[in-house]
């Protein structure tokens, strides 16, 4: 646990008592603060009470009055489409609003670091797609190279559940736009921006607000090194704002598809090969095509970002290359879950939006595509340019019929359920093809989250009869 410092003997409000909220309350108490906790759910309040916290409704001014700060969970809106009533009242009363990420950055460094040979460092990763894989890959490379490392944030543990830092340790954080937008302290040593595509637009008041939330990680914290994906205009804009000149190697530009050899420091992938350039010289080259945990151009971009971050931390190319080869990938993100008769089954349940589904559809040459769920605005119309590898689509969930209308000449079948979709795709697939779950939709019509959807797909695949045994 990271005890929260700076609020000793003061009342601190905690709004939202899910994983991060309860963790925050514990860390505040460990640091000597007096947590005042609340959740709109009676069940969540009961869990907090069982741990010794006394819930108090902050909707009453006498509860809010005198709070040093109100700490809110990331899922609770604080601005768009409208702030939670408690947050709105706190802001009207002038009470600062923060989250666990802000508390972490103000509390992580301690006097114990004075005795360390090497100060601990923090790498923070944000972006629309690929940030979980990039975060996990950085952590994997560090641990495979013998460096002490921890991983937290939007992946794994909550940030305040981390252990106090060890000598030379690196903490790798995945941070969502919900987390970066509100944190009052953001001071990573290395900050990574993977890419940007429209998502969470209602929460941020549009694409500009969404980008502004991501940009805070760089503008507020002033990292020593910034790793910036420059395949979209926003990334190029951000890199240009942070660099004093093209040769400024405090910014490491990253791309999947572009050659970037005219900058101070860059890492890019083309046709499956990663290249690192610095000060006009090629420093390394790696063949990514044979790494099963990193299929497709989108994962090659993730590999470039992780490579750049680890190089910024001082790792040698040979160490990073060896660790890349052993990376198995993350569950529900281009995850190979089975093979049957020369047909591979890939679980990309995390592809909940059009952009991430497009990247998955470009990763394999012949695809039996399982898609559908609770569709987002626009459905899958924007995927039309990326359907060339789709042999046939198998549509499930609430938006199956809407998706069917947008597929045009692409062969498709409305299956409705995962069970039927997997069975039909497996029955029709031929050797060399991939049965790919990349839903391009939320899961909430049939599953509580994308993880459960991916687990169902995996279970259905594993229950298939062996090739040649029939149904």
Decide which of 333 and 227 is more confident: 227
Same domain as 233, residue 251: yes
In a domain, 359, yes or no: yes
- Mark which of 68, 98, 128 sits at the end of a domain: 98
Average pLDDT over residues 23-47: 95
Is 127 annotated as contributing to ligand binding?
A: yes
In a domain, 2, yes or no: no
Same domain as 408, residue 317: no
pLDDT class for 471, splitting at 50, 70, 90? very low
Is 353 annotated as contributing to ligand binding?
A: no
Is 132 annotated as contributing to ligand binding?
A: yes
- Mark which of 297, 325, 353 sits at the end of a domain: 325
**Rounded to whole angstroms, how far apart are CA atoms 210 and 193?**
13
Handedness of CA 320, 323, 329, 330 (dihedral sign): negative
In a domain, 103, yes or no: no
Handedness of CA 273, 312, 330, 447 (dihedral sign): negative
CATH code, domain carrying 299:
3.40.1190.10
Average pLDDT over residues 92-121: 96
Is 52 annotated as contributing to ligand binding?
A: no
In a domain, 167, yes or no: yes
- What 8-state DSSP symbol labels residue 168? T
Is 133 annotated as contributing to ligand binding?
A: yes
pLDDT tens digits, 376-412: 889 999 999 999 999 999 999 999 999 999 999 999 9
Handedness of CA 225, 329, 424, 446 (dihedral sign): negative
Is 205 annotated as contributing to ligand binding?
A: no
Q: 101, 99, 77: which is closest to 88 by C-alpha?
A: 77
Q: 461, 464, 421, 423: which is closest to 439 by C-alpha?
A: 421
- Mark which of 298, 325, 352 sits at the end of a domain: 325
**Rounded to whole angstroms, how far apart are CA atoms 457 and 306?**
29
Same domain as 175, residue 52: no
pTM, two decimals, is: 0.86
Same domain as 350, residue 308: no
Same domain as 171, residue 57: no
In a domain, 397, yes or no: yes
Same domain as 354, residue 311: no
Average pLDDT over residues 229-238: 97
3 state DSSP class of 85:
helix
Is 128 annotated as contributing to ligand binding?
A: yes
Enclosing domain of residue 226: 109-325
pLDDT tens digits, 128-174: 988 999 999 999 999 999 999 999 998 878 999 999 999 999 999 99
pLDDT tens digits, 282-340: 999 999 988 888 888 889 999 999 999 999 999 999 999 999 999 988 888 888 899 99
Same domain as 349, residue 213: no
Residue 273 has pLDDT above 50, yes or no: yes
Beta strands (DSSP E) in 67-155 are 69-72, 97-98, 121-126, 149-153
Run of H or E including 263: none
Number of domains in the chain: 3
Average pLDDT over residues 409-420: 97
Radius of gyration of the chain (CA): 23
Q: What is the mean pLDDT of the chain?
A: 94
Farthest-apart Cα atoms in the chain, separation:
71
Same domain as 254, residue 376: no
Same domain as 305, residue 183: yes
Same domain as 28, residue 135: no
CATH code, domain carrying 409:
3.90.190.20
pLDDT tens digits, 74-84: 989 999 999 99
Same domain as 86, residue 41: yes
pLDDT of residue 218: 96
Same domain as 313, residue 233: yes
């Amino acid at each position: 646990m990271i005890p929260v410092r700076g609020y000793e003997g003061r009342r601190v409000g905690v709004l939202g008592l899910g994983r991060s909220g309860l963790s925050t309350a514990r860390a505040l108490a460990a640091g000597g603060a007096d947590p005042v906790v609340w959740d709109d759910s009676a069940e969540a309040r009961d869990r907090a009470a069982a741990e010794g916290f006394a819930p108090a409704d902050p909707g009453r001014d006498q509860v809010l009055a005198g709070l040093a700060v109100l700490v809110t969970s990331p899922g609770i809106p604080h601005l768009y489409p409208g702030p939670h009533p408690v947050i709105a009242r706190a802001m009207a009363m002038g009470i600062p609003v923060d989250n666990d990420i802000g508390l972490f950055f103000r509390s992580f460094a301690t006097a114990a670091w004075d005795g360390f040979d090497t100060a601990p460092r923090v790498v923070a990763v944000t972006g629309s797609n690929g940030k979980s894989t990039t975060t996990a890959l950085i952590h994997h490379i560090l641990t495979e190279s013998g460096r002490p490392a921890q991983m937290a944030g939007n992946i794994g543990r909550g940030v305040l559940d981390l252990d106090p830092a060890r000598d030379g340790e690196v903490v790798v954080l995945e941070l969502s736009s919900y987390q970066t937008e509100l944190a009052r302290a953001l001071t990573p040593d290395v900050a990574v921006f993977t890419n940007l595509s429209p998502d969470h637009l209602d929460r941020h008041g549009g694409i500009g607000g969404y980008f502004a939330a991501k940009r805070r990680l760089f503008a507020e914290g002033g990292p020593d090194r910034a790793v910036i994906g420059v395949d979209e205009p926003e990334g190029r804009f951000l890199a240009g704002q942070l660099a004093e000149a093209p040769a400024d190697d405090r910014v490491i530009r990253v791309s999947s598809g572009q050659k970037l050899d005219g900058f101070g420091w860059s890492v890019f992938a083309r046709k499956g090969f990663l290249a690192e350039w610095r000060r006009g010289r090629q420093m390394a080259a790696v063949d990514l095509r044979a790494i099963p945990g990193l299929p497709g151009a989108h994962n090659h971009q993730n590999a470039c970002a992780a490579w750049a971050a680890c190089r910024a931390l001082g790792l040698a190319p040979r160490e990073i290359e060896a660790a890349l080869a052993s990376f198995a990938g993350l569950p529900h993100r281009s995850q190979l879950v089975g093979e049957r008769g020369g047909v591979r089954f890939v679980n990309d349940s995390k592809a909940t939006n059009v952009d991430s589904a497009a990247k998955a559809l470009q990763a394999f040459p012949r695809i039996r595509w399982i898609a559908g769920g609770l569709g987002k605005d626009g459905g899958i119309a924007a995927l039309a340019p990326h359907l060339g590898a789709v042999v046939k689509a198998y549509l499930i969930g609430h938006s199956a019929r809407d998706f069917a209308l947008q597929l045009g000449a692409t062969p498709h079948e409305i299956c409705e359920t995962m069970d039927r979709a997997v069975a039909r795709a497996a029955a029709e697939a031929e050797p060399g093809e991939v049965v790919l779950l990349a839903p391009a939709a939320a899961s909430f019509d049939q599953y509580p989250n994308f993880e459960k959807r991916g687990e169902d797909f995996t279970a259905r695949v594993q229950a298939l009869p062996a090739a040649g045994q029939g149904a």
